[in-house]
Structure formats: structure tokens, C-alpha cells
Amino acid sequence: MTYQGHIVLFVGGVGGAKLAHGLYHTLKPQQLTIIVNTGDDFWHYGLRICPDVDTIMYTLGGLVNRAQGWGVADDTFTAFETLRRYGESPWFRLGDQDLATHMTRTARLREGATLTQITRDLSASVGIKCVILPMTDSPVSTIAHTQAHGDLAFQEYFVKHRWQPALRSLSFVGIEDARITPEVSEAISRADAIIIGPSNPWLSIQPILQVPGLRDLIGGRDVPRIAVTPLIGGRAVKGPTAKIMAEFGLDVSVKTVVEYYSDLINGFAYDERDAAPELPTDAAHIRLNALNTLMDDEHARQRLAHDIIAWLADWSMK
Ligand code: FO1
């Protein structure tokens, strides 16, 4: 199988990074553009932190702490511990090497560079050869509206409260004014296939799809547009996808996820351990494919990437 097309992959953090990594090692780098959620970004101790962009960058650059899926492997926490000495109660674990990323990014933002330019340069510095794009250069902040703690900035909900407070709804502050970047627009316009990664559809993919104009750009492309299930056996491999679905009153099933994406996609990869989801008539155009979507080691990431690419290579013959 030689697939020559250009793939655009949409992802959030840890789950999406695994597929990004598999595709990166299966395709030529110039065949892959990764568009990353920035709704999780925030200011912390005067620094601009972009957790999902950094997770993708550290994963593809071979730097990531594999046990946790984010942060830099073997990082030290001298600055973090020093904050404690100063009487602070830091709750977001920033390692010393990771801090250098945020310091560089923040300094360059203050000089007027865009997040797109900074991400390109940081990625190149760690040896990444494909393109990683933030979903927008405009500031967007995901807010979790919870029952127990009211409105929480995303990282407070996710890290400080360990995504335990029941979620009532989400909002994305700044999204109405967010601009699609020329780089994102161009990548989608010339993509031969679009993949929505197995990231949390509500927390990670929703903010990307709400960037004005982006959804229409994807939907208008007459190419394979596939999503990969974030659920296996009714559970998320990692993170709160299933918990959030239940809190939103949704049936925790692959069918719900397909329906959620149904006006955007024409293909869906569910896990081979699960039964094929029954599609409602308005989703009958969606091609289903049962794949082994569990990416528990590097080999599994590349196997899934290979299976998806084989599907795309066969697509027009069906
Ligand atoms: N996740 C945690 O659960 N605890 C942390 O202290 C934490 C710190 C952190 C620092 C840098 C970074 O890039 C990511 C970090 N994450 C941490 C992960 C991050 O909060 C989430 O993975 C994403 O925002 C959700 O996609």
C-alpha cells in the first residue's frame, strides 16, 4: 500500500497524540498536518501554557513523559518546588524543561509572533518534520459549568478538580471572534482526507469545530472525512469522555458519538471489540469500519495508523 495523499488530523491532548504519533511514523512528514485544540490554553504565573499543542509536540518529538502522556520525560521540578517554598500552592505540575517552552512562547507572543509561528519554530527545534497548527491564533478559553463549583476555567476543572465535578455545560469564551488562520484554511482546502482523532468530542474537538468557518470548510470537502472512536466497550481509554456523556444525559455509546459527528463525517472507525453502531437514516451515508483502536503501545499506534491509511487508500474504489 502506498498512500500519497495529504491528511489533516484534528486532535486534543493525550488520546489524539497517540494517533498523531502513529500517523507521523507511517506517512511521510509532508503528508501530515495536525490541527490542535487550544481551548485548554491558559495563563499561569504570567506564562502562556498550551497543553494540547505541547502534548502533540512532545509526543512527536520523542520527548514526552510516556507514563502520563503529557510533559517532558525525566523533567525536574525545581521551579515547581521553589514555588512551594515561597508559600504558593501550585496545582499545575510544570517541569523545568516544560517551563522553558512556556517562557519562549510567552516571550515571542509578547514580541508579536503568532501561536502558529511559535509552534512551527518550537516544533522544528525538537526535530518535528510535519506541520502542527493551533486551531486558531485567537485566544479561546474553555469554561466548564459545573454543579458543585460553578464556572471553572478548563485546567481548574480538569487538573485542580481532577474532572470530578459534574459538568452541566461547556462554553468557549472568545470563540465568536476567533479567526481561522490562513494555514488551517489552506491545510483543510488541500487535504485528501480528514481525520477526527479519538479525542474527547465535547472537550477537545468541539472547540475546534466552533472556530467560525471551520466546520463549513471541512463539511464542504468531498474527500474521506472520518472520525475514530474515543470509546471502547462503552468506556474511554483515558479521561472523562464517558463520564461527561452521562452527565449531559447522553447514551454512553459509540452510536451517540457517530450521531454527534454525523453532519460532518462520511466514515467512522469503531473498535473491533464493539458491535457496529446502528445508524439512523440521516447518517446512512457514513461508512463504518471495525478497527483495533486500542493504542496501548507504539506498535499499536502504528498498526491503527496503517489500518486507517489502508482504508483511505481503498476509499475511492468502494
Ligand atoms: N495534567 C494533569 O493531570 N496534571 C498536571 O499537573 C498537568 C500539568 C501539565 C503541564 C503541562 C502540560 O502541557 C500539560 C499538563 N497536564 C497536566 C495535562 C493537561 O492538563 C491535559 O492533558 C489537557 O489539557 C487535556 O487535554
Phi/psi of residue 73, nearest 5 degrees:
-60, 140
Helix (H, G, I), strand (E, B) or coil at 287: strand
Per-residue pLDDT of the chain (318 residues; tens, 9 = 90+): 689 999 999 999 899 999 999 999 999 999 999 999 999 999 999 999 999 999 999 999 999 999 999 999 999 999 999 999 999 999 999 999 999 999 999 999 999 999 999 999 999 999 999 999 999 999 999 999 999 999 999 999 999 999 999 999 999 999 999 999 999 999 999 999 999 999 999 999 999 999 999 999 999 999 999 999 999 999 998 899 999 999 999 999 999 999 999 999 999 999 999 999 999 888 899 999 999 999 999 999 999 999 999 999 999 876
Q: Would you kindly state where each structural domain of the chain is located, as residue ranges? A: 7-42+135-148+172-317
CB–CB of 18/55 below 8 Å?
no
Ligand 1: atom nearest CA of 158 is: 20
Residue 94 CA to ligand 1 center (angstroms) comes to: 9
CB–CB of 83/47 below 8 Å?
no
Pocket flag, ligand 1, residue 202 (CB < 6 Å)? no
Pocket flag, ligand 1, residue 52 (CB < 6 Å)? yes
Pocket flag, ligand 1, residue 159 (CB < 6 Å)? yes
Pocket flag, ligand 1, residue 158 (CB < 6 Å)? yes
Cell numbers linked to 72? 517532558
Which option is the CATH number for 7-42+135-148+172-317: 1.10.287.1080, 3.40.50.2300, 3.40.50.10680, 3.30.2090.10?
Answer: 3.40.50.10680
Q: Whose CA is nearest to atom 14 of ligand 1?
A: 51
Pocket test for ligand 1, best of 142, 159, 241 (most atoms within 8 A of CB): 159
Ligand 1: atom nearest CA of 91 is: 6
Pocket flag, ligand 1, residue 51 (CB < 6 Å)? yes
pLDDT of residue 237: 87
pLDDT of residue 13: 85
Cell numbers linked to 255? 452510536
Number of separate helices (H) and strands (E) present in the chain: 12, 14
Phi/psi of residue 146, nearest 5 degrees:
-115, 160
Pocket test for ligand 1, best of 60, 92, 152, 244 (most atoms within 8 A of CB): 92
Pocket flag, ligand 1, residue 70 (CB < 6 Å)? yes
Pocket flag, ligand 1, residue 77 (CB < 6 Å)? no
Question: Scanning the structure block, which residue is given the C-alpha cell 462503552?
Answer: 234
Q: Is the pTM of this model over 0.85?
A: yes
Pocket flag, ligand 1, residue 307 (CB < 6 Å)? no
pLDDT of residue 248: 97
pLDDT of residue 1: 61
Residue 73 CA to ligand 1 center (angstroms) comes to: 14
Crossing angle of the two packed helices 115-125 and 51-60, in degrees rounded to 10: 30
Q: Whose CA is nearest to atom 16 of ligand 1?
A: 70
pLDDT of residue 259: 95
pLDDT of residue 280: 85
Ligand 1: atom nearest CA of 55 is: 13
Question: Scanning the structure block, which residue is given the C-alpha cell 472523562?
Answer: 240
